[in-house]
Chain A
Amino acid sequence: MKMTSVLRLSLAASALAMSAGLAQAQEPVKACLITKTDINPFFVKMKEGATAKAEELGVELMTFAGKIDGDHETQQQAMESCIAAGVKGILITASDTKAIVESVKQAQDAGVLVIALDTPLDPIDAADATFATDNFEAGRLIGAWAAGKLGDAAADARIAFLDLSQSAPSVDVLRDQGFMEGFGIDVKDRARIGDEDDARIVGHEVTSGNEEGGRQAMEALMQIDPNINVVYTINEPAAAGAYEALRSFGKEEDVMIVSIDGGCPGVQNVSEGVIGATSQQYPLKMASMGIEAIAAYAADGTKPEASEGLDFTDTGVNLVTDDAVDGVPSISVADGTDQCWG
Chain B
Amino acid sequence: MSDTPDPVVERNSSETVASFQHNDRGLLHKVQHFLHRYPTMVPVIVLVLSLIAFGLIAPNFFSAFNLSLIMQQVAVVGTLAAAQSLVVLTAGIDLSVGAVMVMISVIMGRLSIDFGVPVPIAILLGLGCGMLTGWLNGFLVTRLKLPPFITTLGTWNIFLALNYYLSGRETIRSQTLDSEAPLLKLFGERFNLGGAVLTWGVVLMLLVFGVLWYALNKTAWGRRVYAVGDDPEAAALAGIQTNRVLMSVYMVAGFICALAAWSSIGRVGSVSPTSFFESNLESITAVVIGGISLFGGRGSIMGPLIGALIVGVFNSGLRLAGVDVLWQLFATGWLIIVAVAVDQWIRKISS
A interface, CB within 8 angstroms of B: 38-41, 44, 68, 166, 203, 205-206, 208, 210-213, 215-216, 219-220, 223-224, 237, 240-241, 243-244, 247-248, 265, 268-269, 272, 274, 342
B10 CB to nearest A CB, Å: 61
A39 touches B169 (CB 8 A): yes
Q: Does B1 contact A (CB under 8 A)?
A: no
B175 touches A212 (CB 8 A): no
B262 CB to nearest A CB, Å: 15
B275 touches A211 (CB 8 A): yes
B175 touches A274 (CB 8 A): yes
B269 touches A240 (CB 8 A): yes
Q: Enumerate 24 A-B pairs (CB-CB under 8 Å) in ascending A order.
A: A38-B164, A39-B169, A40-B169, A40-B274, A166-B326, A205-B325, A206-B325, A208-B277, A210-B272, A210-B277, A211-B268, A211-B269, A212-B268, A213-B275, A220-B316, A223-B60, A223-B69, A237-B272, A244-B174, A244-B188, A248-B188, A265-B173, A268-B173, A272-B175
Q: In the assembly, what is the distance between CA of A265 and CA of B169, in Å?
A: 13
Q: Which of A212, A220, A240, A269 contacts B276 (CB 8 A)?
A: A212
A224 touches B170 (CB 8 A): no
Q: In the assembly, what is the distance between CA of A274 and CA of B171, in Å?
A: 16
Q: Does B291 contact A (CB under 8 A)?
A: no
Q: In the assembly, what is the distance between CA of A268 and CA of B274, in Å?
A: 20
Q: In the assembly, what is the distance between CA of A216 and CA of B264, in Å?
A: 13
Contacting residues, chain A, for B188 (C-beta < 8 A): 244, 248
A241 touches B268 (CB 8 A): yes
Assuming the contacts A216-B73, A223-B60, A274-B175, asked whether A211 and B272 have C-beta atoms less than 8 A apart, the reply is yes
Q: Which of B268, B276, B322, B325 contacts A244 (CB 8 A)?
A: B268
Looking at B60, B69, B320, the one whose CB has the most chain A CB atoms below 10 A away is B69
B73 CB to nearest A CB, Å: 7
Contacting residues, chain B, for A205 (C-beta < 8 A): 319, 325
Query: Which chain B residue shows the least CB distance to A236?
Result: B171
A107 CB to nearest B CB, Å: 28
Other contacts beyond A41-B170, A166-B326, A268-B173: 6, CB < 8 A: A166-B325, A215-B269, A220-B319, A243-B174, A243-B269, A244-B188
Task: Bits for B314-327, please: 1 = Cβ < 8 Å to A, else 0.
Answer: 00100110100110
Assuming the contacts A212-B272, A212-B275, asked whether A269 and B169 have C-beta atoms less than 8 A apart, the reply is no
Q: In the assembly, what is the distance between CA of A101 and CA of B272, in Å?
A: 33
- Complex A-B, nearest 8 residue pairs according to Cβ-Cβ distance, in ascending order: A244-B269, A212-B275, A211-B272, A210-B274, A211-B268, A220-B319, A212-B268, A210-B275
Interface residues of chain A: helix, strand, loop or mixed (majority): helix
Interface residues of B in 153-169 (CB under 8 A from A): 164, 169
Interface residues of B in 257-279 (CB under 8 A from A): 267-270, 272-277
A342 touches B277 (CB 8 A): no
Q: In the assembly, what is the distance between CA of A44 and CA of B168, in Å?
A: 10
Q: In the assembly, what is the distance between CA of A248 and CA of B199, in Å?
A: 10
Q: Which of B269, B273, B319 contacts A223 (CB 8 A)?
A: B319
B325 touches A223 (CB 8 A): no
Query: Which chain A residue shows the least CB distance to B271?
Result: A211
Q: Which of A166, A206, A210, A248 contacts B190 (CB 8 A)?
A: A248
Q: Does B66 contact A (CB under 8 A)?
A: yes
B320 touches A342 (CB 8 A): no
Q: Which of B169, B190, B316, B319 contacts A41 (CB 8 A)?
A: B169
Contacting residues, chain B, for A38 (C-beta < 8 A): 164, 169
A241 CB to nearest B CB, Å: 7
Assuming the contacts A211-B171, A212-B268, A219-B73, asked whether A39 and B190 have C-beta atoms less than 8 A apart, the reply is no
Q: In the assembly, what is the distance between CA of A244 and CA of B173, in Å?
A: 11
Contacting residues, chain A, for B275 (C-beta < 8 A): 210-213
Contacting residues, chain A, for B326 (C-beta < 8 A): 166
A194 CB to nearest B CB, Å: 9
Q: In the assembly, what is the distance between CA of A244 and CA of B197, in Å?
A: 15
A223 touches B170 (CB 8 A): no
Looking at A38, A240, A342, the one whose CB has the most chain B CB atoms below 10 A away is A240
Contacting residues, chain B, for A208 (C-beta < 8 A): 277
Assuming the contacts A166-B326, A211-B171, A241-B268, asked whether A39 and B274 have C-beta atoms less than 8 A apart, the reply is yes
Contacting residues, chain A, for B272 (C-beta < 8 A): 210-212, 237
Contacting residues, chain B, for A244 (C-beta < 8 A): 174, 188, 268-270
Interface residues of B in 180-224 (CB under 8 A from A): 188, 190, 197
Assuming the contacts A39-B164, A39-B169, A166-B325, asked whether A223 and B274 have C-beta atoms less than 8 A apart, the reply is no
Interface residues of B in 271-315 (CB under 8 A from A): 272-277
Q: In the assembly, what is the distance between CA of A247 and CA of B326, in Å?
A: 28
A155 CB to nearest B CB, Å: 24
Q: Which of B164, B267, B270 contacts A240 (CB 8 A)?
A: B270
B219 CB to nearest A CB, Å: 35
Q: In the assembly, what is the distance between CA of A216 and CA of B72, in Å?
A: 10
B68 CB to nearest A CB, Å: 11
A237 touches B274 (CB 8 A): yes
Q: In the assembly, what is the distance between CA of A166 and CA of B329, in Å?
A: 11
Task: Bits for B219-262, please: 1 = Cβ < 8 Å to A, else 0.
Answer: 00000000000000000000000000000000000000000000
A281 CB to nearest B CB, Å: 18
B169 touches A219 (CB 8 A): no
Query: Which chain B residue shows the least CB distance to A245?
Result: B269
Q: In the assembly, what is the distance between CA of A44 and CA of B273, in Å?
A: 15
Contacting residues, chain A, for B319 (C-beta < 8 A): 205, 220, 223-224
Contacting residues, chain B, for A248 (C-beta < 8 A): 188, 190, 197
Assuming the contacts A41-B169, A219-B69, A265-B173, asked whether A241 and B269 have C-beta atoms less than 8 A apart, the reply is yes
B244 CB to nearest A CB, Å: 36
Contacting residues, chain B, for A269 (C-beta < 8 A): 173, 175
Q: In the assembly, what is the distance between CA of A240 and CA of B319, in Å?
A: 22
Query: Which chain A residue shows the least CB distance to B175?
Result: A272
Contacting residues, chain B, for A216 (C-beta < 8 A): 73
B267 touches A215 (CB 8 A): yes
Q: In the assembly, what is the distance between CA of A216 and CA of B276, in Å?
A: 12
Q: In the assembly, what is the distance between CA of A268 and CA of B270, in Å?
A: 14
Q: In the assembly, what is the distance between CA of A166 and CA of B102, in Å?
A: 24
Query: Which chain A residue shows the least CB distance to B199?
Result: A248
Q: In the assembly, what is the distance between CA of A152 and CA of B320, in Å?
A: 30
B253 CB to nearest A CB, Å: 22
Query: Which chain A residue shows the least CB distance to B274?
Result: A210
